[in-house]
Structures are given as structure tokens and as C-alpha cells.
Amino acid sequence: MKTIHLIAAARPNFMKIAPLYHALKQTDWADPVIVHTGQHYDINMSDAFFTDFQLPDPHIHLGVGSGTHAQQTGRVMIAYEEILMNTPPDMVVVVGDVNSTAAATMAAVKLGIPTAHLEAGLRSFDRTMPEEINRLVTDALADLLWTPSPDGDENLLREGVAPEKVERVGNIMIDSLEMLRSRIEAEQLFMTLGLTAGEYGLITLHRPSNVDDRETLEKICGIIGNITERLPCVFPIHPRTRKNMETFGFMTRLEALPGLKILEPLSYIPFMSLVFHSRMLITDSGGVQEESTYLGIPCLTLRPNTERPVTVTEGTNQLCTPADLEANVNSILNGGRKTGQKPAMWDGKTAERVVASIRRYLS
């Protein structure tokens, strides 16, 4: 049996390891081991995803918690190195671009353990984003780089990565969605919230560039106020965003908006059920850009760039600034809806391709 560590740390990681865990579990040669670094620890940021995706409790928990970037990265490296030295796996799989992704990669590669990155090659070309640094470090070091789209391959080859390390496998997030589609469709959270299908917007915001600066966040809150006068919106608030809203004193104003429903962070199934029936999405998340493209729902991304350019060139995603967000919302409401197509290999079969790739690599 080959032991494969699957590193999961933060909310966007749990749905990425789930299809792979279940696919590896079905083989007679792989023993998938879930390593939770503890970067996200709240029930609705972590445990609820394990329940939704029918994952077992993490086999290994590093319990690193929150901290500065160096603290978080350092704590994961120290704790994970000890595990790797005592019980080295045959392969480590890291996903996405959070601090724990880069930290686990550095710890494993230095001990000579084969390390693979799922969702490799994405680049925003914006080094003020902590995730861009994590992507660069992870992709420079990992032995196997699984990309979701052709831009990923191109970025890696341009950076001098050996072509034999790169394999396009498609988008694992689509496997996650298809895996739970029937349960998502059965959930009707919008009704419980008193909303009508196709007549509400769904907002998610958590990027430091949008929510850590008082002036920017105040501007965004004002725009949300204007938008909700035309379109009722739901806003499940990320802990980072809520903390800043409260510190800056914006929460009361936001809660008083009649067209806005503020919720705690949601787990995958209820969140995706809101996505399925929404008129449009307003977000700065990476995953939501992909999910909206796959589902053909208009998405306005409040960022100057995206590491997922196919969602703009092929999908329904549009980049926005605080200055033009409201006009873009109005344009969609007036019928100016961007249409798109599903990118190649976003087909729910990515986990299968990854399992085949691991098997080839390890034999």
C-alpha cells in the first residue's frame, strides 16, 4: 500500500481534497491520510466541510491556528516535519495556495518526499497577494504539477519548470460540485431566507486588499448599500471580514440595510445551494469565480486581476473595481449578461486523472 498524505488547511482546501480522498480510497493500492494543519478551526470554516463531503476526521491534526504569515508558515513546517520524519508517506499532495500549502511543500521536499501540487500554475502576477507567493514557492519546489487549464501549463513552462513535471488534469472543484450536486439541489436555503430563485445576489468578500483597509471597506459597504436597493443580497461573512467590519464600526450600518441578509459563513452544501439559484455573484474568492463559470451564472470579481483567467476569457466572470461595480450590477440587471462556456476538462473527472497520475509516478 502507498501512503498518500492529503494536506488540508483552510476552507477552500477541504472541498479539493474530498474527491481525491474518495477516489484513492476506492483503489487497492493507496491509503489516503488526511493531514489538517489547523489554519482554519471554526466549526463552520472547517468541520462542517468534513461532514458535507463525508470525510473522516483528519488522521493527523497539526493545530497551528491563526497568526502572521511567518508564524503560520513556520508552525506548519515545524509540526509537519516531525510527522514526516517519524512516519514518512510515499507522497504528499498539497492543494491550492494557502500558507499551509507552501509550508507543507517546503517541509516535505527538503526531506526528499515526492510532493505534488493540485491546482498548480495559476498566476495573478500580483505579488502583493499572499497566495501568489505561496503559488510561486509551491510550484518551484513540487515534483509533480497538476494544472486546471492551459494558462497554468504556460506559466510553469515560462518559469523554467521541466515539461515532464507538468500534467493538465482539469479542475478538481468541479468534481466536488458534481459529487454533491443532488444534495445541493435538494437544499432550498433561499426559500428559508424568504428570497426568490434568480432574484437575489450572493456576496462573498475576504481578500485582505478589500477588507483590511478601512477606507476601501467603507467604500465597498456603501456600494453594497446601493446595490441592495435594486437587488436583495445575501452575504455570508468570513471571520476576517466580520472582525474588520466590527473594528471599523461598519457592522451596525450593514445590518440595518433592509435588502441585505448577513449570515455566518456557510458550509459547502448550503452555500452552493445559494449559488445555484442566484442572479449574480459578487466576490473576491478564487473558487467562486470557477463555480460561477461552470454553472453559467454572472460573476463580478472585485479584484484588479485573477489567477483564473479562463473564467474571464471563456466564462461568465468579469473583473471589477469599487468604482465600476455598481454599474456592472445594473448592466446585468438590465439584461447585459455575460455568457460563457465550460472550460475543457472541467468535467468532474479530475480526481480520476490525478489518481492515475499518482499511480504512474509511484510505480
Residues that bind ligand UD1 (CB under 6 A): 10-12, 39-42, 45, 66, 97-99, 130-131, 206, 238-240, 243
Please state, in angstroms and rounded to a whole number, the distance separating the CA atoms of residues 129 and 119: 17
Ordered DSSP codes for 291-344: HHHHHT--EEE-SS--S-THHHHTSSEEE--TTTHHHHHHHHHTT-PPP--PPT
Nearer to ligand UD1, 228 or 289 (CB): 289
Q: How far is the CB of 73 from ligand UD1 (least distance, A)?
A: 9
Nearer to ligand UD1, 18 or 45 (CB): 45
For 56, phi and psi rounded to 5 degrees?
-70, 165
- Could you confirm whether 206 is annotated as catalytic? yes
Place of cell 493500492: 29
Q: Active-site residue among 5, 40, 206, 238?
A: 206
Amino acid at 60: I
Amino acid at 84: L
Please state, in angstroms and rounded to a whole number, the distance separating the CA atoms of residues 305 and 228: 25
Q: How far is the CB of 50 from ligand UD1 (least distance, A)?
A: 13
Question: How far does CA 161 lie from the centroid of its chain?
Answer: 24
Nearer to ligand UD1, 98 or 281 (CB): 98
Q: How far is the CB of 322 from ligand UD1 (least distance, A)?
A: 19
Task: Of 300, 337, 355, 314, give the one whose Cα is nearest residue 146.
Answer: 355
Q: How far is the CB of 360 from ligand UD1 (least distance, A)?
A: 30
Nearer to ligand UD1, 148 or 232 (CB): 148
Catalytic positions: 206
